[in-house]
Amino acid sequence: MEAHHLEEARRREDNTMKNRLIALLILISMLLSLVAASCTSSQSPAPGQTIDVKRGDLSVIVTSDGTLTAPDQFNLAFNTPGTVQTILVQEGERIRDGALLATTDPWSQINAIKTALFSIQTAQNNIDLGCDTDHLPYNYPDLSISRMADEAMKDMDTAAAYFSLGNYKDAGYWLIVSYFDIQVCENLIETRPNAAQLAGAKINSTWYPDVNAGGWQSITPDNQKAIDTMKLYREKLITISNLMKDPLIPYEDIVPQFEQAHLEMSDVAQVARSTVTIKSRMIYKYADSPTSVDFLQSSLRLLEGLQQIRPADAADLSNTIWDIYSAKLNLQVGKDVLENQTLIFESGGSINWKTLQDYNLKLQAAEINLYKAKRDIMNTVIISPSSGTIFSVNLKVNDPLSAEDYATRPAVGLVNTQVIKFTGKVDEIDIMKVHVGDNATVKVDAFPDKEFNWQVKFISPFGAKDGNVVKFDVIIVPTGPFGEELKDGLRATAEIQVASAKNALLVPISAVVSTPGGSMLLVVNSKTGQAEPRRVTTGLQNFQYAEITSGLADGDKIQMPGKTTSGSATGQQRQSSNPGNAMRVLH
């Protein structure tokens, strides 16, 4: 009996639990129904409801999920082996393009420049005028210092020109080239040998009546003054480079110092030249007739091409003007070469065309080696290719860089967060609707309250299979400053506006009924107040609204059908997992 009572109690308890669970499920269902009804009523009119036709702006949107990327990312390494000399930045520091970031020991490259200069001197000194008695060491001075002073002036002119044009990256590059030019000048003065002794002059002879000849020349007070002047000038160039690095200093504030350094360069070059004694020596660089003939033949070819121009081609004068200018320039160069040739032959001696041609080729080979050495010395420095933030510093002072690993050991990592792009994917159904230049609204997950109005820059011609769908890459970029510090890797969604209609007659998409005879609306007769079917022509449509291009007028009223039968939009735009992201109407 007791067991029977326990069984009955358990059964009543189970029934109570079941009843409570059923009641809870009914309550949840009722709440969900209320929420759904509320959402439905806010998005679409109820069946049978009468609404006024209104005008508005309609946009058709294709969505793309993707990420933000910073394309200007650089892992900057030295382009030559060596020992790290300076690291001029630290992690987190903001810098500008054209800034000097790090350096290695440049002495191997400086010696290469000096070797190229000596080759130029050898080529120049090997031509024998044969018209006068040589007086060592004055007829064959070492003009390497003067040559590097000229190079420094030319390179500083280039740096100033780029700076005035706002090309600060190249301005910073040529500023450092000028720095090295001056440094080579200093070293040439400091290590200059006794040219007379090296040439074989004997002490106390009529060739060199100096009892102190021989060995390395001592640094005279004038030479030391020149060295000190050039050291100070190099410090000024580094100061300007540091100012260019700091984003807090406007470029306008640097202009006076840059212009002053540009003006002072001519004085520094003159100081360098003053350390070289030149007496009774003429140097001929391009004095061969074959070179002149080459320029003349080039001019003839250009002129012959001009003779064949047809009258119909005369409308485009740009190429013609350029050819005439080139021919004129070539003739002028040929004229100059011939004049030099005449001067040399007038000086007499054993000069002939073969001698001049050999001289010219050797000199040009030496000139090429000089410019190659100047290019190589810039491998010992790292110049910022872009403004941005230093995100890594991987080397420290005195770190060795071997020939095996220098290229694979970045010294500095740099990223420009002011250059950003959105990279996303669009599936094959929608890709033909997207075009380069389409406007897009980019929403970044990290900035939920911000919208960025950008533009489609690139659509990949190649698709890639993603599950069962083929998708295409699209790149969307800003059209101007975007104000926020966006970061590489942030997730984002782009809404690409592929079509739009301004001030269009709009009706809810659920009001349009598709029939074999076309699209129909229930239009309220203003006289009878009854809804009557009317054939209309639809234009653009999305998941909320349809554009009516004919069959409806301003002020008309329509009645929602008792059963939503809209299907016309589904053929034009596929439903995505989030319809609100796929389409929207702009009012």
pLDDT exceeds cutoff 80 at 62: yes
Q: Which of 306, 309, 356 is nearest to 328 (CA)?
A: 306
What pLDDT does residue 534 have? 87
540 within some domain: yes
Query: Residue 505 — very low, low, confident or very high, per pLDDT cuts 50/70/90?
Result: confident
Domain shared by 579 and 435, yes or no:
yes
The residue whose two tokens read 């970044």 is 444
Asked if residue 11 is part of any domain, the answer here is: yes
Looking at residue 490, its pLDDT comes to: 93
Strand order in the sheet with 388-393: 73-76, 412-415, 388-393, 94-95
Place of tokens 């005008």: 55
330 has a pLDDT exceeding 70: no
**DSSP states along 454-504:** EEEEEEEEEEEEETTEEEEEEEEEESS---S---TT-EEEEEEEEEEEEEE
Q: Which of 10-24, 229-243, 367-381 has the lowest mean pLDDT?
A: 10-24
Q: CB of 520 within 8 A of CB of 534?
A: yes
**Lowest-confidence range among 142-151, 322-331, 473-482, 552-561?**
322-331
- pLDDT value at position 273? 87
User: 489, 490, 424, 463: which is closest to 65 by C-alpha?
Assistant: 424
Using DSSP, state whether 101 is helix, strand or coil: strand
Q: Are residues 269 and 142 in the same domain?
A: yes
- Cβ atoms of 540 and 581 within 8 Å: the answer is no
Is position 69 within any domain?
no
Structure tokens belonging to residue 359: 């001289």
Over residues 324-349, the mean pLDDT reads: 59
* pLDDT, tens digit (0-9, with 9 covering 90-100), for 465-480: 888 899 999 999 998 8
H or E element at residue 103: strand 100-104
Is the bond preceding 137 in cis, omega lying within 30 degrees of 0?
yes
Among residues 362, 396, 415, which one ends one of the domains?
Answer: 415
**pLDDT band for position 194 (50/70/90)?**
low
> Is residue 558 within 8 Å of residue 53, measured between CB atoms?
yes
Q: Which helix (H) or strand (E) holds 73?
A: strand 73-76
Residue 342: inside a domain, yes or no? yes
H or E segment at 421?
strand 421-427
Predicted local confidence at residue 444, as pLDDT: 93
Residue where one domain finishes, among candidates 415, 444, 459: 415
The single residue listed with the structure tokens 């059923």 is 22
Residue 347 pLDDT > 70: no
Query: Stretch 355-371: mean pLDDT, rounded?
Result: 83
- pLDDT: which is higher, 245 or 1: 245
Q: Return d(Cα 217, Cα 192) in angstroms, integer.
A: 7
What is the per-residue pLDDT across 153-188, written as a single tens digit (0 to 9) for each?
Answer: 999 999 999 999 999 999 999 999 999 999 999 999
Per-residue pLDDT band at 393 (split at 50, 70, 90): very high
**In 3D, which of 117, 127, 139, 144 has the Cα closest to residue 357?**
127
The answer for residues whose C-beta is within 8 angstroms of residue 494's C-beta and 6 or more apart is: 63, 64, 65, 66, 422, 424, 440, 441, 442, 443, 454, 474, 476
Q: What is the mean pLDDT of residues 180-201?
A: 76
482: confidence class by pLDDT, cuts 50, 70, 90: confident
Please give the residue range of the domain that contains residue 143. 136-279
Mean pLDDT of all residues in 41-46:
58
Q: Please check whether residues 162 and 240 belong to one and the same domain.
A: yes
Mean pLDDT of 451-459: 93
Range 65-74 average pLDDT: 92
Question: Could you tell me if 337 and 367 lie in one domain?
Answer: no
Q: How many domains does the chain have?
A: 5
In contact, 486 and 442? CB cutoff 8 Å? no
Tell me: pLDDT of 121 over 60.
yes
Tell me the sheet residues that pair with 497: 61
Q: Within a domain: residue 359?
A: yes
Separation CA 151–CA 160 (nearest Å): 14
Instruction: Give helix 289-307 / helix 318-346 axis angle, nearest 10°.
Output: 160
CB 414 within 8 A of CB 91: no
Residue scoring higher pLDDT (421 or 509): 421
Rounded to an integer, what is the distance from CA 510 to the centroid of its chain? 50
Average pLDDT score over residue span 204-233: 66
* Per-residue CA distances from 13 to 3, 19, 20 (Å): 15, 10, 11
Helix axes 353-377, 107-125, angle to 10 degrees: 170
State whether 368 and 516 are in the same domain: no
* Cβ contact 32:453 at 8 Å: no
For residue 218, what pLDDT is reported? 54
Most confident of 208-212, 213-217, 265-269: 265-269
User: What gap in Å lies between CA 549 and CA 557, rounded to an integer?
Assistant: 16
Residue 284 lies in a domain: no
| Structure-model confidence comparison of residues 44 and 530, the more confident one | 530
**More confident of the two residues 109 and 283:** 109
Q: Report, in angstroms and rounded to the nearest whole number, the Rg of the chain calculated over CA atoms.
A: 41
Least confident of 137-151, 284-298, 494-508: 284-298
For the chain, the average pLDDT equals 77
Q: Would you say residue 187 lies in a domain?
A: yes
63 in any annotated domain: no
> How far does CA 75 lie from the centroid of its chain?
15
CA nearest 395: which of 109, 177, 75? 75
Query: 98 and 210 share a domain?
Result: no
Domain final position from 384, 399, 415 = 415
Whether 489 has a pLDDT exceeding 50, the answer reads: yes
Q: Give the mean pLDDT of 370-374.
A: 94
What is the mean predicted confidence (pLDDT) over 135-142? 46
- pTM (2 d.p.): 0.65
Between these two residues, 270 and 572, which has the higher pLDDT value?
270
CB neighbour class for 175 (10 Å; exposed up to 12, middle 13-18, buried from 19):
buried
The residue ranges of DSSP E strands in 163-312, in sequence order, are: none
Q: CB-based burial of residue 100 (10 Å sphere; 0-12 exposed, 13-18 middle, 19+ buried)? A: buried
Q: Is residue 396 located within the same domain as residue 534?
A: no
239 with 376, same domain: the answer is no
Instruction: Say yes or no to pLDDT of 105 above 50.
Output: yes
Please report where in the chains the tokens 């000229």 appear, as a residue. 150
CATH number (domain holding residue 108): 2.40.50.100
Question: What is the CATH number for 506?
Answer: 2.40.30.170
Those residues whose C-beta lies under 8 Å from the C-beta of residue 336, and which sit 6 or more positions away, are 286
Q: Which pLDDT band, with edges at 50, 70 and 90, does 510 fall under?
A: confident
Give pLDDT, residue 120. Answer: 86
Q: Do both 493 and 571 map to the same domain? A: yes
Question: What tens digit of pLDDT does each residue of 426-449 get?
Answer: 999 999 999 999 999 999 999 888
Other CB atoms closer than 10 Å to residue 532's CB: what's the count?
A: 11
Distance, in Å, from the CA atom of 279 to the CA atom of 143, rounded to the nearest integer, reads 12
Residue 416 has pLDDT above 60, yes or no: yes
Cα separation, 535 vs 192, in Å, equals 99
* 149 and 98 in a common domain: no
Task: Report the number of secondary-structure helices (H) and strands (E) in the chain.
Answer: 11, 21
- pLDDT, average across residues 224-253: 94
Are 576 and 429 members of one domain? Answer: yes
Q: Could you say which DSSP state residue 317 is in?
A: -
Residues 275 and 342 in one domain: no
